[in-house]
A and B are shown apart, each in its own frame.
Chain A
Amino acid sequence: MVQVPNDRRYTSEHEWAKEDDGRILVGITEFAQDQLGDIVFVGLPDPGAEVKAGEPVGEVESTKSVSDVYSPVSGRVVDKNTEVEQTPELVNSDPYGRGWLVRIEPADEGIEQLMTADAYSGLIGFEQEGH
């Protein structure tokens, strides 16, 4: 069973978002990394980039495919995980920790409008059965 920690919120595109001292930390879920397989490349925007909720904020490439990462919130990228750009396998081994992708200064709202861990667990439970 994949982990869905309670300390953060989720999107239907399998990103997680976590409050971190007024900023929002963003990554992809354990379910997402499992579906993608071995991640071989992570492309992230440089700090300063403006992002909109639901629009791409980077891409992850696995041996199977390339996928956009969609920003859970609107705002400005203030930091990116350079370690994960060098060592993309961190997204596989620690998706909720060292495998984080970007830190965003939110423009207005926080992450309360996103899915709770319970709701997201329901979604991936459905997706797992749906196929």
Chain B
Amino acid sequence: MSEQSEGSLQPSGGTRQLGADFPLIFEESRPGRRAWSLPDVKVDAPPLEELIPSNLRRATPPGLPQVSERDLVRHYTRMSQRNWAIDVGAYPLGSCTMKYNPKVAEEAAGLPGFSSIHPMADDELVQGALELLGLLQRALCEATGMAALTFQPAAGAQGELTGLLIMRAWHRSKGDVRKRVIIPDSAHGTNPASVTLAGYEAQEVRSDDRGLVDVDALKAVLDDDVAGLMLTNPNTLGLFERDIQEIAAAVHEVGGLLYYDGANFNSIVGIVRPGDMGFDIVHLNLHKTFATPHGGGGPGSGPLAVSQRLEPFLPAPVLEFDEGSERWGWQHDRPDSIGRIHSFHGNFGINVRAYAYLRSLGPEGLRRVAELAVLNANYLKTLIEGSFPTKYPGSCMHEFVASATALKKHGVRAMDVAKRLIDLGYHPPTVYFPLVVEEALMVEPTETESKETIDGFAAALNQIAEEAQADPALLHEAPTTTPVRRPDEARAARRLKVRWSGP
């Protein structure tokens, strides 16, 4: 018997432990292997050349991996076991509202009457699905204080673009061409990006020493060239813009519109409505506030709601209930519409989840969501402010932005804190955003985490602050418990490689 080290005892084809590295699906490919074989065509089909013009046909097959169903399932199951998800543990990623999503919403979305319908089905055959959209539309308009709504935007950023195109169409309908949209310096990066995409120029206003929009600075830049203001309330610092009525009046004074970024709606749902604050256009992130597993790139739902005067400009078609026939249907005759911004009517399954969530909680339950989200954030903020203070005084809303600057003297940065949290079993908060706070840790515990989880997360952060002093190397080396340690983000961005190009 020959001597073998433990490492070489791995038999061929053996399954390694879960954390270990495993091949890319391309590396598992074997010529001719298939996960599914289509039956032979029993009818005479015209030759491919007649069906598809030669300039649209590939010369060679695409380099797709060739694997069996078993290989495919095992590969993606192993991938999924590396995922951090809200069903695995706490996920206090600021401004993302990574809340636990009750399974009742999944059950509703999986009902065949919702999950197996085709978007091309006649209205007559999907009255139940249309009614659900109609009822959800009504509920969301009620919650936002708006008059009408479109489900077309597939996520928040698309809602932003839709809202800005409506803003432009409204100004234009009055023969008014405006050039600028005002955005606070604490805004999400998508705001200025959407403004630019919509053909406007983004103009920044600074926050004051309260972390709120500096109203005097805002008034100084307002003139009749300003199309509107985009505002997140509470803002990304987790602070409620308490001057909102004065801000709204000032923007309306120069003929501008107010856009509400609904990213942080979770903290005010059922308590205060954007429409009552003076907003004209509101997007919601149903996947944040109204239950949908998110964080993997979607699918999302970013419905856009508007006040009565902007209703004619909504993307077409709009959903209507005909009192005479008692039927729901799509109204396409919309001469002032900005047109379609998504095929069909958005991501329908996400809307079903949102409706199930709304109905299972009811108005009182929704209000409780906001209250508990704010309570949890303030409790956590208090537990860690000795080690990670916030820049702005006072209580917060559903999230807060702590700073790791106190650890800089030990050579420890916010990124090191984030990496160490992974070793301690918590998903890190958002780091280095918003930009107005140095070494930012943006934390949002959400309403669904228990006191025990929040206590544990705070204990981990306070432990890290002590480790920074006692053993900073421990933090620089983290994470040590993951299959991949610290990828070189800078090199990954500079020498971006997104395509498998062979071994």
A-to-B contact residues, CB < 8 Å: 37-41, 61-66, 88-89, 131
List 21 interface pairs A-B (beta carbons < 8 Å), by A numbering.
A37-B490, A38-B489, A39-B490, A40-B490, A40-B493, A40-B494, A41-B493, A62-B490, A63-B489, A63-B490, A63-B493, A64-B432, A65-B432, A65-B435, A66-B189, A88-B494, A89-B490, A89-B494, A131-B403, A131-B405, A131-B438
A38 touches B490 (CB 8 A): yes
Main secondary structure of the interface of A (DSSP, over half): loop
Q: Least Cβ distance of A37 to chain B in Å?
A: 8
Q: Tell me the minimal C-beta distance from A21 to chain B in angstroms.
A: 32
Q: Find chain B residues with CB under 8 A from A61 CB.
A: 493
Chain B interface bracket (under 10, 10 to 19, 20 to 34, 35 or more): 10 to 19
Closest chain A residue to B432, Cβ basis: A64
- Other than the given A38-B489, A40-B494, A62-B490, 9 more pairs (CB < 8 A) read A37-B490, A39-B490, A41-B493, A41-B494, A61-B493, A63-B489, A65-B189, A66-B189, A131-B438
**Residues of B near any A CB (own CB < 8 A):** 189, 391, 403, 405, 432-433, 435, 438, 489-490, 493-494
**List of B residues within 8 angstroms of A89 by Cβ:** 490, 494
List of A residues within 8 angstroms of B494 by Cβ: 40-41, 88-89
Q: Which residues of B contact A88 (CB under 8 A)?
A: 494
Nearest CB in chain A to that of B437: its residue: A131
Report the Cα distance A20→B318, complex, angstroms: 61
What residue in chain B is nearest A128 (Cβ atoms)?
Answer: B438
A88 to B438, CA, bound (A): 23
* Complex alpha-carbon distance, A66 and B403, angstroms: 20
Query: Using Cβ atoms and an 8 Å threshold, which residues of chain B touch A41?
Result: 493-494
Instruction: Kindly state the separation between the CA atoms of A38 and B403 in the bound complex, as whole angstroms.
Output: 20
CA distance A89 to B189 in the complex (A): 23
What CA separation (Å) do A88 and B495 show in the bound complex? 11
Shortest C-beta distance, B12 to chain A (Å), equals 40
Chain A proximity of B289: nearest CB distance (Å): 26
The interface residues of chain A lying within 8 Å CB-to-CB of B433 are: 65
Q: How far is the CB of A121 from chain B (nearest CB, A)?
A: 19
Give B388 Cβ to nearest chain A Cβ, in Å.
14
Cα-based distance from A61 to B493 in the complex (angstroms): 10
User: In the complex, what residues of A have CB within 8 A of residue B493's CB?
Assistant: 40-41, 61, 63
- With both chains docked as a complex, state the minimum distance between the C-beta of B196 and any C-beta of chain A, in angstroms: 12
Bound-state Cα–Cα, A89 to B405, Å: 25
Interchain CA distance A65-B435 in the complex, whole Å? 8
Contacts of B405 in A (CB 8 A): 131
- In the assembled complex, the CB of A23 is this many whole angstroms from the nearest CB of chain B, namely 28
Give bound CA distance, A37 to B431, whole Å: 13
Which B residue's beta carbon lies closest to that of A88?
Answer: B494
> Which 6 A-B residue pairs are closest in the complex by CB-CB distance?
A38-B490, A40-B493, A64-B432, A63-B489, A131-B438, A40-B494
Given the complex, which residues of B lie within 8 Å of A62, measured CB to CB? 490
Least distance between A13 CB and chain B CB atoms (Å):
12
Per the bound structure, the CA–CA distance linking A58 and B403 in Å amounts to 29
Which residue of chain A is the closest to B440 with respect to CB atoms? A64
Query: Measured between alpha carbons, how far is A37 from B416 in the docked complex, in Å?
Result: 14
A17 to B256, CA, bound (A): 38
State in angstroms the CA–CA spacing of A61 and B489 once bound together.
Answer: 12
Taken together as a complex, chains A and B put the C-alpha atoms of A64 and B439 apart, in Å, by 11
How long is the Cα–Cα vector from A131 to B490 in the complex, in angstroms? 26
Q: CA of A65 to CA of B433 in the docked complex: distance in angstroms? A: 9
Report how far A62 CA is from B432 CA in the complex, Å.
11
Min CB gap A65→B, angstroms: 6
- Docked Cα-Cα span, A41 to B491, in Å, equals 11
In the bound complex, CA of A40 to CA of B116 (Å): 45
Shortest Cβ distance from residue B301 to the other chain A in the assembled complex, whole angstroms: 27
B489 proximity list for chain A (CB < 8 A): 38, 63
Shortest C-beta distance, A99 to chain B (Å), equals 14
CA distance A66 to B192 in the complex (A): 12
